Chain A
Amino acid sequence: MSMKTRALILVSMAALLFTGCGRPGSGTDQNAADADTLSGEITVVGSTTVQPVAEVLAGAFEALHPGCIITVQGGGSSVGVTSAAQGTADIGSVSRDIAADEFQQYPGLVVYTIARDGIAVVSDPGISVDGLTLDQVRGIFSGEVSNWSSVGGPDMPIVVVSREEGSGTRGAFEELVLGDEVQITSGAILQSSNGAILTTVSGTPGSIGYLSFGYLDPSVKALSIDGTAPTPENAANGSYAAVRPLNLVTNGDPDGLARAWIDFIYSADGQAIVVEQGYLSVN
């Protein structure tokens, strides 16, 4: 009996604790009434490209509204669509355009483009090539060009590194850079995340791959295409073409916390975070 009483006390204490935390305490907040309704928890599931920036956006939002919890998970763009459509997540994140058959299957989907992202061709930093023409990029990824010496580099075999079929980054790269006719060589090393591509390209001599702008760092060399360097500026002014939308999707119009978070992302503060993370603002 005493065990039961103790458990009961524990539970009620925990409940008190949680309700205490759940109320945003700051009465000085100018829209205190608004803030009061803003509490609770939402989950965001989907693209690993959107994940890092979504985590930062969630953190910034939680700092403004202490009663809210936004959980961000990976899984992939397609998982993002199905989770949002089937209600297992409040918001899905998708690093590509929503496919026609996805709209057909889930007519309730509402899409918010929160940022745009460039895709850069990256190589092992030891390669003395700074840029390629679009045709050379297509030749290399299709497997027709197999040695760096054919594109002005050292006599060294080219190791192609790519994302797996179905990846949002791969889909966008195929669509925006390779075009319809070119298929990525079946001999390519396939890795299943932007992070794994970064590690593989930086560690494999003679390798070439492609990465979301948000993942670029000095351990790989970002190559210019047709003389245009893959920088946010060039992507913003339209001279660098490999740019895709980063989307959030919801099933029907979002309300409450989800609505507030999306509004926050579109605000000046939210878009500043997007730019800070290496992506392009949508404004």
Chain B
Amino acid sequence: MTRKGIIDEAMRVVLLCAGLASLSIVVLIGLFILRESLPAFHEIGVWNLLSGKEWRPGQGQFGLLPMIAGSGLVTLGAICLGLPLALCCGIFLAEIAPTWIRVVVRPSIELLAGIPSVVYGLFGLVVLVPAVRQIDYPGNAGFGLLSASIVLAVMILPTIASVSEVAIRSVPDEYRQGALALGSTRWEMIRRVVLPAARSGILSAVVLGLGRALGETIAMIMVIGNSVMMPTTMGGPLPGIFLSRARTLTGNIAVEMSYATGLHSSALFATGVVLFVLIMIVNSAARALMSRNVRGGRP
């Protein structure tokens, strides 16, 4: 074999190994978490774990429902707050912004994605929590779902904004020209033609944001209060539920892991399995939506 041929072959093997390594890391981690969590699933039972409302490891009560509700609600809150802003940002960048604004705004959004989450958490702790505490509501201490949702909304903004910008930009120009030629205004063109055409891309942006929101840990621990309780309205109107303290699935693991032993530690691995499955569902949804987007993207 020639020298070049050997190098080619060697590189092929190296790259193959790298590819297999990342695959085997995922599989090994998955197997490890599953193995560690088996005692919990076996002794507590899958249904008891998923539907139990009490989490008192000292008393042998392991219910994950409060944490599932906490993760769900904080993610919902973050999407409600962050999606409109992120989507408008994406539309602005793709359709409206002149080049000189775009070259300023886009890197700044990317910078937002690069800020470590502990910094967001610190910001939430010293700025948002005291601000939310000003809301006059029984039982409100500032720590809770609202503060956490706001922090999370800012954290998922870059993901949703940049993916939806790409989706909107990939709508063929003929669509825009056609709409304008038929006499629609620019806003009508965006709303009636461009957005529907980019729909599945935008949806996958949202789902990617969801995945990021579900996995966020340290910033949530710092502002959500970490109380093991089903979020309640504390006797007020329904939106009051967002002033309730809660705990996320990720926070459950991070807060308790260092002191856990035996069944308690296994139950935390089981929390990890629940999270793993949730994020796998969300990621496959994003993947499915993206592949649809590539194929057609027509309304």
Interface residues of A (CB under 8 A from B): 74-79, 81-82, 99, 101-102, 157, 159, 164-168, 171, 174, 183, 186-192, 199-200, 203-207
Contact = CB atoms under 8 A, between A and B. Distances in A.
A261 B94 CA distance: 65
Given A78-B259, A78-B261, A82-B261, A192 B254 contact: yes
Nearest to A190: B226
Nearest to A74: B258
Contacts of A183: 56, 59
B143 interface: yes
B202 to A, nearest CB: 37
A76 B259 contact: yes
Interface in B199-258: 221, 225-229, 245, 247, 254-258
A190 B225 contact: yes
Given A186-B228, A186-B229, A189-B141, A164 B259 contact: yes
B259 A166 contact: yes
7 contacts: A74-B258, A166-B260, A166-B261, A168-B259, A189-B143, A192-B221, A192-B226
Given A189-B225, A190-B225, A165 B57 contact: yes
Interface residues of B, number: 34
Rank and list the top 8 A-B pairs by shortest CB-CB distance, nearest first: A76-B258, A166-B259, A190-B226, A76-B259, A189-B225, A186-B229, A159-B141, A192-B255
B259 A101 contact: no
A187 B264 contact: no
Interface in B99-134: 125-126, 129-130, 133
A78 B260 contact: yes
A188 B143 CA distance: 11
B227 A166 contact: no
Contacts of B55: 165
Contacts of A189: 141, 143, 225-227, 245
Contacts of A207: 141
A77 B55 CA distance: 21
A151 to B, nearest CB: 18
B138 interface: yes
Contacts of B129: 203
Given A164-B255, A199-B125, 13 more contacts: A76-B257, A76-B259, A78-B265, A82-B261, A183-B56, A189-B141, A189-B143, A189-B225, A189-B227, A190-B225, A190-B255, A203-B129, A205-B133
B258 A79 contact: yes
Nearest to B221: A192
A102 B205 CA distance: 48
Among B126, B133, B221, B259: residue with most chain A CB under 10 A: B259
A116 B170 CA distance: 67
Given A78-B258, A166-B260, A192-B254, A204 B227 contact: no
A164 B226 contact: yes
A204 B247 contact: no
Contact of A187 (B245, B259, B260, B262): B245
A203 B141 CA distance: 11
A182 to B, nearest CB: 12
A159 B229 CA distance: 15
Contact of B227 (A81, A188, A192): A188
Contact of A204 (B142, B228, B258): B142
A166 B264 contact: yes
Contacts of B139: 157, 187
A30 B256 CA distance: 48
Contacts of B227: 186-190
Nearest to B259: A166
Contacts of B229: 186-187
B98 interface: no
Contacts of A192: 221, 226, 254-256, 258
A104 to B, nearest CB: 11
B58 interface: yes
Interface string B258-291: 1111101100000000000000000000000000
Contacts of B259: 76-79, 164-168
Contacts of A203: 126, 129-130
